């Protein structure tokens, strides 16, 4: 027997629609800024940034897919594109040939260093310059709470439940 859903209140619906609009518009804004100023997509910039923060500027393709929350197929296409641009190189792991690493090249570091100031300015202009310090703290707490619930929900024994964990 179907149960009646607990519908959103007017204030919850307002918050949800505002979040959807924020998410869509912010991603588009950052994508346009990065394409215009650095000829990178927002997704590519994020991939390069994850590699830059990794030990030896390299991650296994599986780890990178998990960090980016994208399918391995989508990651393979992105790495292939970034490899053609000279930003990333793939290499095998000597101790386990089945593991393939994506590594940031010196050219990729320079591209990231070129893109970072404009990207940070765009993030600041679109988000942090319009929020009070208390709102920034609240935003962090809200995002962390939602992420925690979603990560707990995604901790499952079924490795195919999440696209980025599929082999």
Give the CB-side neighbour count of residue 102, counting CA atoms within 13 A.
Answer: 31
Q: What is the pLDDT, as a whole number, of residue 150?
A: 85
Q: For residue range 54-108, what is the model confidence (pLDDT) as tens digits?
A: 999 999 999 999 999 899 899 999 999 999 999 999 998 878 878 899 999 999 9
Contact of 90 with 79, CB cutoff 8 Å:
yes
Q: What is the pLDDT, as a whole number, of residue 151?
A: 81
CA 91 – CA 26 distance, rounded (Å): 34
Q: For residue range 106-161, what is the model confidence (pLDDT) as tens digits?
A: 999 999 999 999 999 999 999 999 999 999 999 999 999 998 988 876 666 565 66
Q: What is the pLDDT, as a whole number, of residue 94?
A: 78
Domains and CATH numbers, the chain: 11-130 (1.10.10.10)
Q: What is the pLDDT, as a whole number, of residue 154?
A: 66
> Could you give the angle at which helices 61-68 and 72-84 cross, rounded to 10 degrees?
110
Q: What is the pLDDT, as a whole number, of residue 165?
A: 57
CA 64 – CA 68 distance, rounded (Å): 6
Q: Which two tokens stand for residue 61?
A: 């393709």
DSSP H or E stretch at residue 37:
helix 10-38
Q: What is the pLDDT, as a whole number, of residue 156?
A: 63
- Whether 49 shows a pLDDT value over 80: the answer reads yes
Count Cβ atoms below 10 Å from residue 34 Cβ, excluding itself: 21
Q: What is the pLDDT, as a whole number, of residue 163?
A: 63
Q: What is the pLDDT, as a whole number, of residue 157?
A: 58
pTM of the full structure? 0.85
């Amino acid at each position: 027997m179907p149960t009646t859903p607990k519908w959103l209140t007017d204030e919850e619906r307002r918050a949800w629609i505002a979040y959807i609009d924020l998410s869509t518009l912010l991603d588009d804004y950052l994508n346009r800024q990065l394409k215009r100023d650095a000829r990178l997509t927002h997704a590519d910039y994020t991939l390069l940034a994850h590699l830059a923060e990794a030990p030896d500027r390299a991650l296994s393709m599986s780890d990178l897919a998990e960090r980016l929350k994208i399918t391995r197929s989508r990651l393979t296409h992105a790495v292939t594109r970034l490899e053609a641009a000279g930003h990333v190189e793939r290499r095998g792991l000597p101790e386990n040939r089945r593991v393939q690493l994506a590594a940031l090249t010196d050219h990729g570091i320079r591209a990231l260093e070129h893109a970072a100031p404009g990207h940070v300015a765009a993030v600041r202009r679109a988000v942090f310059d319009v929020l009070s310090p208390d709102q920034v703290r609240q935003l962090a707490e809200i995002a962390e709470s939602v992420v925690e619930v979603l990560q707990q929900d995604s901790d499952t024994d079924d490795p195919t439940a999440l696209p980025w964990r599929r082999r």
